[in-house]
Every structure is written in structure tokens, then in C-alpha cells.
């Protein structure tokens, strides 16, 4: 791998945003994801390669998070480093020279205002090359359906933290499937399980962000 790509990969995994960032302590004073991405582009390193390096870094930190080897703050810093890379790559996405894996529509279901889990899934999925459409929290079924109509080939993720909103999630899954039977729906959240997902009619269940990515990537192939 190109030296720039190896360094970008590491910066994303470790959450090294830029040179002035004091985190992580052992990388203090070194160029971060921001500077390295700019230097890579100036050195004619292609945006696709940079995106792949970014994705690899997010994949590793996501796997570590799934094994409880790192924690939410580490994942948040990795996401900040990833965003620093994406700021440089955005013009290439807009021009169509960099292709994403697809659209992933995500939201916390109606009646539930919790967003930490949803946001973590969003960051890891986005970091693995997907275009994420974040509908926010307390999302009614109609809003999910409207978004699917705008992104007909999208994958859909529903999040819930409250046991009391599982019935709402089930209703939303059933309505989405009734309108768009070929749309892939994945659910997640503390009260969920694979059995609950199957009973709702969802295509999959993800207990953590990395499992969500693995599910989406497997479905995209």
C-alpha cells in the first residue's frame, strides 16, 4: 500500500484528526488524516484508494469496538478523523468519480428519542463506503417510506432503545415490506434480538455497528 494510504488508514483507526490534535498522545505533533489526505491528493493518489484506506481504518476500529477492546470515545474520534478525510473527497463524490456501495436510510422509530446507537451505526456504515441518509429520531413510518421512494435501491435501518417502541418498529417494518417487498430492512437496539427481528419481518438484526456493516456488505454482493 502507498505510504500515504497506510498513514491515513492508521489515522482513521486511531482517531488522529489533524496535526494540532493532541489525541492520541503517542501521535501528538504528527500529521493527521486531514493533512495526509491533502498531501495524498496533491501527490496524485486517487480518491478511490484514499477511500479504501479510510474504510479499512473504520473496519478495524469497528471490529475492536465489537470486541469491547475500544469504547465509544475511541469510535467517535475515529469518526472525526474519517470526516476529515471525507471533507477532501466530497468533490470527487459529487462529480461521480468515486462510487459508494449504496444508500442506507437509518432512523430511530417514532416515540423513541435515543440516538447514540443510531449515530454509532451511521458513522461506521458511512466509514465503510455507504451513503447514509439519517432521518434522525422519532421517525414516523411515513418518513421512512418517503425516503425509500427517493432512494428506491436503498437499504433501511431501524433503531429503538425502548421496549415500548418495539411495537412501533414492528408496524413500520410491516408497512415498509407491504409497500416495498424487495427493500432490505435491518433492525437494532437494546431490546431487539434475532427472534424479534424475524417476527417483525425484518431481513436482519445487528447487535452492534460492525454486524450492521457485515450484513450490508454481504447483501450488496
List the beta bridge partners of residue 139: 109
**Predicted pLDDT at 106:** 98
Between residues 59 and 152, which one has the greater pLDDT?
A: 152
List the beta bridge partners of residue 157: 106, 186
Strands (E), the chain: 103-108, 131-134, 155-159, 184-188, 204-205
Q: Which of 41-50, 98-107, 180-189 has the highest mean pLDDT?
A: 180-189
Q: Where in the chain is the domain with CATH 1.10.1240.10?
A: 3-95
Q: Is the pLDDT of residue 76 over 80?
A: yes
Which residue in this structure is represented by grid cell 469496538?
65
Q: Is the pLDDT of residue 93 over 90?
A: no
**Predicted pLDDT at 1:** 58
Q: Is the pLDDT of residue 99 over 80?
A: no
Name the region of 62 (left: φ>0; alpha: ψ -120 to 50; beta: rest). Answer: alpha
- Residue 201's pLDDT band (cuts 50, 70, 90): very high
State the Cα angle at 154 between 51 and 119, rounded to 5°. 65
Q: Is 197 within 8 Å of 170 (Cβ atoms)?
A: no
Residue 109 has what DSSP assignment? B
Q: Is the pLDDT of residue 194 over 80?
A: yes
- What class does CATH assign to 3-95? mainly alpha
Residue 43 has what DSSP assignment? T
**103-220 is classed CATH 3.40.50.280:** yes
Q: Where in the chain is the domain with CATH 3.40.50.280?
A: 103-220
- Residue 90's pLDDT band (cuts 50, 70, 90): confident
**Predicted pLDDT at 97:** 67
With 0-12 / 13-18 / 19 or more C-beta atoms within 10 angstroms meaning exposed / middle / buried, residue 20 is exposed
**Predicted pLDDT at 145:** 98
pLDDT single digits (tens) 140-150: 999 999 999 99
Amino acid at each position: 500500500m502507498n505510504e500515504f494510504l497506510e498513514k491515513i488508514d492508521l489515522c482513521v483507526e486511531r482517531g488522529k484528526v489533524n496535526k494540532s490534535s493532541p489525541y492520541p498522545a503517542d501521535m501528538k505533533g504528527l500529521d493527521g488524516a486531514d493533512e495526509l489526505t491533502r498531501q495524498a491528493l496533491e501527490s496524485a493518489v486517487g480518491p478511490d484508494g484514499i477511500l479504501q484506506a479510510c474504510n479499512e481504518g473504520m473496519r478495524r476500529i469497528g471490529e475492536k469496538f465489537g470486541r469491547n477492546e475500544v469504547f465509544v470515545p475511541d469510535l467517535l474520534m475515529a469518526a472525526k478523523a474519517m470526516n476529515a478525510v471525507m471533507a477532501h473527497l466530497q468533490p470527487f463524490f459529487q462529480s461521480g468519480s468515486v462510487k459508494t456501495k449504496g444508500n442506507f436510510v437509518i432512523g430511530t422509530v417514532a416515540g423513541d428519542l435515543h440516538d447514540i446507537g443510531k449515530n454509532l451505526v451511521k458513522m461506521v456504515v458511512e466509514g465503510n463506503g455507504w451513503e447514509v441518509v439519517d432521518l434522525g429520531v422519532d421517525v414516523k413510518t411515513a418518513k421512512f417510506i418517503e425516503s425509500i421512494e427517493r432512494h428506491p435501491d436503498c437499504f433501511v435501518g431501524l433503531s429503538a432503545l425502548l421496549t415500548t417502541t418495539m411495537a412501533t418498529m414492528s408496524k413500520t417494518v410491516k408497512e415498509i415490506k407491504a409497500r416495498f417487498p424487495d427493500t432490505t430492512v435491518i433492525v437494532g437496539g437494546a431490546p431487539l434480538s434475532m427472534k424479534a427481528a424475524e417476527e417483525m419481518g425484518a431481513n436482519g438484526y445487528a447487535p452492534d455497528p460492525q454486524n450492521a456493516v457485515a450484513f450490508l456488505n454481504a447483501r450488496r454482493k
